[in-house]
Structure 1
Amino acid sequence: MAASTQPKLTTAGARLPVALSLWARVRAWFTPLRLEATCVAITFVAMMAGLLTSNMDVNPTVPAIFYLVAYVSGGIFGAQAGIESLRHFQIDVDLLMVLAALGAVVIGSPFEGAMLLFLFSLSNVLQAYALGRTRSAIQALMKLRPEQALVKRDGETMLMPIEQLAIGDRILVRPGERVPLDGIVVEGESTLDQSSLTGESMPVGKRVGDMVFAGTVNQSGSLEVQVTKLARDSTIARLIQMVEEAQSQKAPTERFLDKFEQVYAVGVILFTLLLMIVPPAFFNAPFEASLYRAITVMVVASPCALIISTPAAILSAIANGARRGILFKGGAHLERAGQLDIVAFDKTGTLTVGKPTVTDVMIIPLNAPDCDEQADSAADDPCLPDVPEHIRREQENILLALAAAVESKSEHPLALAIVQTAKHRGLNIPEATDFVNTTGKGVQARVAFMGGLTIAIGNPRYFADYPVAGMTRAMRQVVQLQDEGKTSVLVAKINEGRANILGVIAIADVVRPSALSVIQRLRELGIKRTVMLTGDNERVARAVAQQTGVDEFYADLLPADKVAQIKRLRDGSGKPSTVAMVGDGVNDAPALASASLGIAMGAAGTDVALETADVVLMSDDLRNIPYAIALSRQARRIIIQNLAFAIAVIILLVIAALGFDLPLPTGVVGHEGSTVIVVLNGLRLLRFREQS
């Protein structure tokens, strides 16, 4: 007997986990948005069933049951929100809609009340969907981060969850894989796709010493990365956190409408009561007609479209900017970006690339005659002999290779620039020995080239103790290069106590290629003044200002001086101006905080920028500044459109209800239709693209 029943018990026991698993899947599928959408569908079906059965020869209880289902499914969320508002002694549009629907039942129009709840709940679902789309663009970034990483520990490679990794761990990132955590490349060279984080369209080269960020894609070579931030502190995790905080910070227009909603809702209820009481009491009007008109006015006067008009646009604009690598840290900052009068730029790392680069390599022929002709630029000296281009290029490469051989032994930033340029050109850098460094002046070493040469590199003071050949011509080049804002070093061959100048190498923090076009675009957008603030000397500042086209510049500024200039620009003569400060977020932090709008460049990995600025550009692309301004102005235009449209619809429907006996169904469609329209209009910002 026991044997015969055992299979049945086993089968029944197996069915229970299956049923529980199915129920768990059903519960997981019913997200809040899907639950509301399901209730909307039930409301529609029950409403139409109530309408059909009320016109059929059936028991009146049947349509009443259908309408009851429609009212419960369509009004449950609004009733919950209304009750929650009453607990805080507030009245909102949700309560108005529920009262209006109940009023429709009282006047014998259950279908109109059900239709009101259906359209109201449908508009709420559309709003939730619209706002959810603005968040989904950000939340999708979390999925870009791998859950596991290949870690090298104790001579072994193991796969571990990223939550278990510690700062200092070394992880392997193979071609095609995503970087699991922020870190520094300690071995290997590759290109990474950083578009998911910074919005950059082109891959970025990475080599030893460069930062890499979680969620970016390794495209070519293998990398070994030393972890610098834990999973919870990675750039991508902090980006998501700040965007969510930004979405919760309301714009001034939105805050005003929230306060206005409370007063307006109370006013609508009081006006509705007056319409119900005054005509029958003082003008002998039929109570039913007065009640019908009052309920209609309550419906059409509810400020649903007015209240949703601003957040629909603001959140859509924030999501659009985030996809491009522009992080607005709140709706207030988004609105302010569209009101700018002056944009002030830091120089180093903002208008320029932020690191020294070799710009000119010039040969000084040993036997060239002196002359007094003046050159327009250091790159075009009329006193130099005219040699074919390919020969000059070969001579420049030899000079650069000799300099790189010596500078490869130094850690000075200018030395690194020379070495990197030589490697970039693919030059064969000879071996150097007997390296000697004279602090503040220059270096020299023995270079294995043409049997061995002693090469010295330094400023003019380095050669003060040598008999020098070619110094006059070299100094002419140096002066011209200084006028162009460049730093120069002399390269010389030392032989038997004499120095023969071989050439001049110019190094500068070069201007970003997009700087000039960005300044021009800002003028097209109506920015009145563009200003450059820098701690560099006036000669360098003037050269950069001429190349970028800024209206004015201020040099030799300490961080406190930059703050003073920002205040002067903001509180200048006449009415106060709205000033944006654009900086790299480190020494510019005080100025970023003092400006009307602080914009930080290259925030990936820059903690100060993330904390101080109001707007963060996750890539070093200056073109995102005019894009942010244009996006803000488009958002303001759409907000104004929505507000004007919502107010016009309310006024028109109220006049129609009071003076022309507007039918309740028409009022319901007009009111809720306007809400849907302003939401869809706000969603257009998700597809915004700047038109030059």
Structure 2
Amino acid sequence: MAPSPKVRLDLELVFPDLPAGDSQCRERLIRALSGLTGITELHSVPDGADTPAQLCVHYDPAILSLSRIQALVRAEGYRISTRYGHVVLATTVRSEQQAKRVSAQIRRLPGVVEAEAAATGFVRVGYDRQGTTEEQVRESLAELLGKEHKDDHGHDEHGHHGPLGERAELIAAGLAGLFLLAGYLVDTLTHAPPAVPMVLYLLTYLAGGGFAVREAFASVKAGRFEIDFLMLLAAGGAAVLGEWAEGGLLLVLFSLGHALEEHAMGRAKAAIQALAKLAPETASLLGSDGAIEEVAVETLAAGDLVVVRPHERFPTDGVVIKGESAVDQAPVTGESVPVDKRAIPTGAPRPPGRVPDEHTVFAGTINGAGALEVEVSQPASESTLARIVELVSEAETQRSPTQELTKRFERVFVPIILVLVIALLFAWVVLDETFQASFYRAMAVLVAASPCALAIATPSAVLSAIARGGRAGVLFKGGAPLELLGRVCAVAFDKTGTLTRGSPEVTDVVPFDSVEVQELLSVAAAVERLSDHPLARSVVDHAESLGLEAGQADSLEAMPGHGVRASFNAQVVLIGNQALFEDDANGPLPKELSESASALEAKGRTIMIVKHGLRFLGVLGLLDPPHDHSAAAVSRLGEIGVHRMVMLSGDSQPAAQAVAEQVGLAEARGALLPAEKLAFIRELMEEHEHVAMVGDGVNDAPALATATVGVAMGAAGSDVALETADVALMSAGVSRLPFAIELGRQTRATVRQNLVLSLGVVAILIPATLFGLGIGPAVALHEGSTLLVVLNALRLLRFGR
């Protein structure tokens, strides 16, 4: 069983024009990527006269994908040449043995850099555009796999299984069992001619071994001797010895186990395909003349207007421009409560990925009771839902460390067993027994030692868990992040946009002297209406929520680090922090007002002091409030055994501490620069072996990459977060983080249970068969363990329900 070959990849980079020079850029990039699971070596290749700068990456494609490496490099601020491409294809591969064979065959295709197949049928192929094209990769795969291949959009499973569809092998196993039972009853309870039970046993072999023969032939043709071949060898040996019933029982139970393994992988794949089917196939396109036309979703382009009626699904991602409604986002983000959506104000900026959540909708989510008009933000093929399906499919092809360990064990264990079986074939030479007895014992040992259950113990659990996470709004980038998240005992949170909403609100309005609240807010709103600063928007929104009408200010002038100056009612208005009024021309600040401002700052508020003409009107306090569910999530993390939780923030220590107290965190670090956050993560990893960093996946990229597991939240609508994080939570906030960690822990527990069961049965059966246990009981126990492993893994598909 050949291991997945390690890959050397030379990425051609375009480095930013920085005074420090290219070498410093390269070293920073190398430090950022060096901690990733799956990368074995990193070094830079200096640019020459004819060659661009290159980063040489040695990695294990079974654990880390080409596309993930490229995304992480881009997240660090570098551009990559378009030499390397990747594609995720769907096939009708439905077992771990098929997946191994297909992976090895695809790697031999010209121009292919990496290839990994999953038992759920998804195949990830990385290729060099200098050696091949995506079209050639698809054509080669179709030619190589024949009927096992289908394109990404195909849903027909009949090609692999014949006219009976995906249950063909299960039906064949059932027929084989009936033939075996009939043959045994005729053979033992009647006086029928010997030819009658013989025909029934032959039918048992044909029905129970047909699929195994095809798989074994394909494996041998590819130069591999898999479990199917060993089982056929044992069944053939039993037939040679005249033990037709025992050989038939072996094939019946083996084919039944194989069919149930395929069923389990099919269930995991169906969970992913169900996501793709959430988006409707048609949309109601609103024409420029006001007419509504039903069109295919694939024809929609950015800028088109669509009408979404009550209780319909949204056809693609977009921005609400008319109407209000509560939208069920559970299919994409996992949120259990509908989210209110309203039209974006006319003329409001719409930076990609930064439009407020209250105005954005996602393909596949369900509209509530109000009709909405939505402006399409991107084609259906590039929607958040489409990216989720693609990324989950790709994640299924990336194995966990335990899977790699199991594979290494198999590579040592199988040859040892084959040597033992060959030695047992000649036991009659030194023992006082017949060749038939030695042969029978050797076949029994072969059956007992075949690692069927071991081969699927880890993959079945990991694939089921990844599929379950995808359905719940949690994307795991392969088996390694899933397994590592289950080991996390310390979590570091970014503050803004992670534990908090990311948009400040006015929490305190403190008028000075005899000034009325209405006057203070009206003047402040009139000036801040001219600014696009987030704090300014918060002041305007607060004034509007109270029904105050702001007048018209003009001549806005920004004073960086201090505040703004404008004109209102022919008088100068100053709005800013205390430093703005230290200047004699603007101050002095009255002692009482200064004390009020200082008190607000001590509580973590951002302050805005307002002066109109010669009068100080008062001070406003603003705070970025926590998400409603942040406190509950932090509490749950403590309950499940996360021993240390820390909040990291670039805001002042009082502001950080105020938010930490609100969400129930005992530790907060404020006034941190990005480099200081990174240093703190490294310190935390020295104290705790497995650390998760939770952020928005954009400005936290170095810290996310350094932590054991990087978790990006609010990934719906954020391509950067989807690409760079080890784990992506689709909903805003951290409400799904406890679920993700618990799923990781349950997956590890399930894997341990499966490994103990599979190895324990083998450990018992090998000595038992050496001392006389027959093929029949060995088959029953061996295949029974395989069935239990599959059923145990399937439980993960219902985790948390």
Do the two structures share a fold, i.e. TM-score over 0.5?
A: yes
* Corresponding residue for residue 326 of structure 1: 474
Change (3 A) 1:225 1:332: same
**Structure 2 residue 604 is the aligned partner of structure 1 residue 485:** yes
TM-score (norm 2): 0.72
* Corresponding residue for residue 543 of structure 1: 658
* Corresponding residue for residue 321 of structure 2: 186
Change (3 A) 1:118 1:263: same
* Corresponding residue for residue 419 of structure 2: 270
**Partner-residue secondary structure (3-state), 1:439:** strand
* Corresponding residue for residue 365 of structure 2: 216
**Structure 2 residue 173 is the aligned partner of structure 1 residue 40:** yes
Per-residue CA deviation, residues 118-144 of structure 1 (Å, 9 max, x unaligned), is: 111111111121222222222111111
Which residue type is aligned with residue 78 of structure 1? A
Structure 1 residue 161, shift from structure 2 partner: 0.9
CA distance in 2, matches of 1:122, 1:453: 86
Structure 1 residue 415, shift from structure 2 partner: 2.3
* Corresponding residue for residue 266 of structure 2: 132
CA distance in 2, matches of 1:434, 1:254: 66
* Corresponding residue for residue 243 of structure 2: 109
CA distance in 2, matches of 1:114, 1:396: 89
Structure 1 residue 240, shift from structure 2 partner: 0.8
CA distance in 1, matches of 2:517, 2:235: 85
**Partner-residue secondary structure (3-state), 1:158:** strand
Contact 2:716 2:730 in 1 (8 A): yes
CA distance in 2, matches of 1:251, 1:637: 14
The 5 A counterparts of 1:294-443 are 294-366=442-514, 400=521, 403-404=524-525, 407-423=528-544, 425=545, 427-430=546-549, 432-440=551-559, 441-442=563-564
* Corresponding residue for residue 792 of structure 2: 681
CA distance in 2, matches of 1:397, 1:142: 52
**Partner-residue secondary structure (3-state), 1:179:** coil
* Corresponding residue for residue 645 of structure 2: 530
**Structure 2 residue 185 is the aligned partner of structure 1 residue 52:** yes
**Structure 2 residue 642 is the aligned partner of structure 1 residue 509:** no
CA distance in 1, matches of 2:221, 2:643: 50
CA distance in 2, matches of 1:557, 1:460: 22
**Partner-residue secondary structure (3-state), 1:362:** strand
**Partner-residue secondary structure (3-state), 1:34:** helix
CA distance in 1, matches of 2:704, 2:446: 48
Change (3 A) 1:422 1:176: farther
Structure 1 residue 686, shift from structure 2 partner: 2.4
How many residues align? The count is 625
Gaps of 5+ in 1: 1-23, 368-394
**Structure 2 residue 208 is the aligned partner of structure 1 residue 74:** yes
Per-residue CA deviation, residues 624-679 of structure 1 (Å, 9 max, x unaligned), is: 222222221222122112211222212222222222x2232222111111111121
Gaps of 5+ in 2: 1-155, 345-358
Which residue type is aligned with residue 346 of structure 1? D
**Partner-residue secondary structure (3-state), 1:144:** coil
* Corresponding residue for residue 372 of structure 1: none
**Partner-residue secondary structure (3-state), 2:326:** strand
Structure number with greater Rg is 1
**Structure 2 residue 375 is the aligned partner of structure 1 residue 241:** no
CA distance in 2, matches of 1:444, 1:604: 39
CA distance in 2, matches of 1:183, 1:674: 49
CA distance in 2, matches of 1:175, 1:432: 38
Structure 1 residue 255, shift from structure 2 partner: 2.0
**Structure 2 residue 758 is the aligned partner of structure 1 residue 642:** no
CA distance in 1, matches of 2:326, 2:565: 34
Structure 1 residue 310, shift from structure 2 partner: 1.2
Per-residue CA deviation, residues 564-595 of structure 1 (Å, 9 max, x unaligned), is: 3333433x37xx73222111011112221222
**Structure 2 residue 625 is the aligned partner of structure 1 residue 625:** no
Of 557, 566, 581, the residue aligned with 2:681 is 566
* Corresponding residue for residue 594 of structure 2: 475
* Corresponding residue for residue 138 of structure 2: none
CA distance in 2, matches of 1:490, 1:228: 39
CA distance in 1, matches of 2:412, 2:726: 32
* Corresponding residue for residue 101 of structure 2: none
CA distance in 2, matches of 1:165, 1:580: 39
Which residue type is aligned with residue 728 of structure 2? V
CA distance in 1, matches of 2:558, 2:527: 15
Contact 1:101 1:116 in 2 (8 A): yes
Which residue type is aligned with residue 335 of structure 1? E
Give the helix-richer structure, 1 or 2: 1
CA distance in 2, matches of 1:127, 1:419: 60
Of 199, 211, 219, the residue aligned with 1:85 is 219
CA distance in 1, matches of 2:586, 2:271: 67
Of 580, 583, 588, the residue aligned with 2:695 is 583
**Partner-residue secondary structure (3-state), 1:108:** coil
Change (3 A) 1:601 1:467: closer
Change (3 A) 1:436 1:48: same
Change (3 A) 1:194 1:583: same
Change (3 A) 1:665 1:176: same
The 5 A counterparts of 1:248-259 are 248-259=397-408
Change (3 A) 1:356 1:63: same
Contact 1:559 1:588 in 2 (8 A): yes
**Structure 2 residue 736 is the aligned partner of structure 1 residue 603:** no
**Partner-residue secondary structure (3-state), 1:90:** coil
Structure 1 residue 33, shift from structure 2 partner: 2.4
Moved more, 407-416 or 166-175: 407-416
Contact 2:525 2:550 in 1 (8 A): no
CA distance in 1, matches of 2:704, 2:163: 45
Per-residue CA deviation, residues 417-436 of structure 1 (Å, 9 max, x unaligned), is: 1233344x4x3232523444
CA distance in 2, matches of 1:548, 1:587: 22
Moved more, 241-250 or 251-260: 251-260
Contact 1:445 1:454 in 2 (8 A): yes
* Corresponding residue for residue 17 of structure 1: none
Change (3 A) 1:421 1:122: farther
CA distance in 2, matches of 1:31, 1:481: 72
Change (3 A) 1:343 1:420: same
Change (3 A) 1:283 1:468: closer
Contact 1:33 1:125 in 2 (8 A): no
**Partner-residue secondary structure (3-state), 1:150:** strand
Per-residue CA deviation, residues 243-273 of structure 1 (Å, 9 max, x unaligned), is: 1111111111112223333433333233222
CA distance in 1, matches of 2:158, 2:637: 53
Of 632, 647, 657, the residue aligned with 2:769 is 657
Moved more, 673-682 or 311-320: 311-320
**Partner-residue secondary structure (3-state), 2:646:** strand
Contact 1:92 1:265 in 2 (8 A): no
Which residue type is aligned with residue 473 of structure 1? E
**Partner-residue secondary structure (3-state), 1:359:** strand
Structure 1 residue 521, shift from structure 2 partner: 3.7
The 5 A counterparts of 1:161-176 are 161-176=296-311
Contact 1:268 1:301 in 2 (8 A): yes
Structure 1 residue 186, shift from structure 2 partner: 2.5
Change (3 A) 1:487 1:283: same
Contact 2:158 2:164 in 1 (8 A): no
Structure 1 residue 458, shift from structure 2 partner: 4.6
